[in-house]
Amino acid sequence: MTFSLPIGPLGIPQLGFGTGTYYYKGADTLTFNQSLVDMLVEAVHQGFIHIDTAESYGVYPEVAAALKQLLTEMDRSSIFITDKYSGSPSKGISKNGTPYEHLKKILNKLGTDYVDLYLIHSPFITNEKIGFTLAEIWKSMEKCLDEGFAKRIGVSNFAVSDLQDILQTAGHKPLVNQIEFNAFLQNQTPGIFQFCKSHEITLEAYSPLAPLTKVDHSSGVGEQMDLFLGQLAEKYDKTKTQILLRWVLQLGVVPISTTSKRSRLQEWKGVFDFQLEQAEVDTVTSIGQSYKPRLRLYMRSQYSKYD
């Protein structure tokens, strides 16, 4: 039976394939990574049609090559592409102007007329570095939406106050906030989970597997979580990876993961054919909340004060 990735209320496929982290290069001009192209093509072939990329990852050439291959065999509408306006590539010196100017240039590079979701990568790119205020940046995002170059617009790593600022003047509200989210970091910034829920802003979780990949399981809460994930894995005949991704999904959050291994795609499929009981979801949540300090891998200089 062929696998179809479930699609959420805003038309967002419910698991994103990340082209940052493991595949991060930092500049488009660095050595071309054929293995990323091959994995993207394989992932989409297997039904993982949601590709998550960003200006700062430096992987547009690879995403473009994968798309070129895929679009010979399927419609553009069968693939969901997220791009993020980062302000500039991480390892480059060029400034790419406004989000609108950046996107138009990137669409040309990617060989497509639009992205499905376009995000402001973080609220910290509005400083003197690029010379635009957040309100100006949002206006430019709205222009992308109005002219059809982005089907949806949103933000990433935004705190409640950043969202409130935008909501005051926005013609179109942000539909998505992509944040660092895992069982050991359930609010990247204070109150963000509840705020997004109550304003119907879809949350996407990047680094959802950090409790498996970045925690020392030999002590305390890490060990307690590991034991409980192990029990659930045994009960449902699943892996701990599948249990953690399922927990994210059952909270109504879209996980953005990645992999270097084809076998992992098979594992991902098994995230969508079972359901945790509500009490089990709640137990993962409450064990996770007792993990101190929080498990935070990104934006530490700005946000670790909350841990």
Ligand X SMILES: NC(=O)C1=CN([C@@H]2O[C@H](COP(=O)(O)OP(=O)(O)OC[C@H]3O[C@@H](n4cnc5c(N)ncnc54)[C@H](OP(=O)(O)O)[C@@H]3O)[C@@H](O)[C@H]2O)C=CC1
Residue numbers at the binding site for ligand X (CB under 6 A) = 18-22, 52, 121, 156-157, 178, 206-210, 212-213, 240-241, 256-261, 264, 298
Find the length of the chain.
307
Structure tokens at 277: 């009981």
Supply the minimum distance, in Å, between the C-beta of residue 305 and ligand X. Answer: 18
Residue nearest to ligand X (CB): 18
Nearer to ligand X, 14 or 207 (CB): 207
Supply the minimum distance, in Å, between the C-beta of residue 219 and ligand X. Answer: 18
Nearer to ligand X, 50 or 151 (CB): 50
57 is catalytic: yes
Nearer to ligand X, 172 or 240 (CB): 240
Structure tokens at 100: 């609108």
Q: Look up residue 223 and give its amino acid.
A: E
Supply the minimum distance, in Å, between the C-beta of residue 19 and ligand X. Answer: 6
Q: Look up residue 9 and give its amino acid.
A: P
Structure tokens at 32: 């071309």
Give me the catalytic one of 57, 60, 85, 206.
57
Nearer to ligand X, 21 or 186 (CB): 21
Nearer to ligand X, 56 or 98 (CB): 56
Supply the minimum distance, in Å, between the C-beta of residue 11 and ligand X. Answer: 19
The DSSP annotation for the chain comes to ------B-TTS-BSSEEESSGGG--SSTTSPP-HHHHHHHHHHHHTT--EEE--GGGT-HHHHHHHHHHHTTTS-GGG-EEEEEE-SS-TT------SHHHHHHHHHHHHT-S-BSEEEE--GGGSSTTTT--HHHHHHHHHHHHHTTSBSSEEEES--HHHHHHHHHH-SS---EEEEE-BTTBS-SSTTHHHHHHHTTPEEEEESTTHHHHS--TTSHHHHHHHHHHHHHHHHHT--HHHHHHHHHHHTT-EEEE--S-HHHHHHHHTTSS----HHHHHHHHHHHHT-SS----SSHHHHGGG-
Question: Rounded to a whole number, what is the distance in angstroms from the first to the last CA of the chain?
Answer: 45
121 known member of a binding site: yes
Supply the minimum distance, in Å, between the C-beta of residue 149 and ligand X. Answer: 20
Nearer to ligand X, 22 or 274 (CB): 22
Supply the minimum distance, in Å, between the C-beta of residue 207 and ligand X. Answer: 3
- Beta carbons of 193 and 159 less than 8 angstroms apart: no
Q: Hey, which residues does 206 pair with through a beta bridge?
A: 180, 256
Residues serving a catalytic function are: 57
| Binding-site positions | 121
| Binding-site positions for substrate | 121
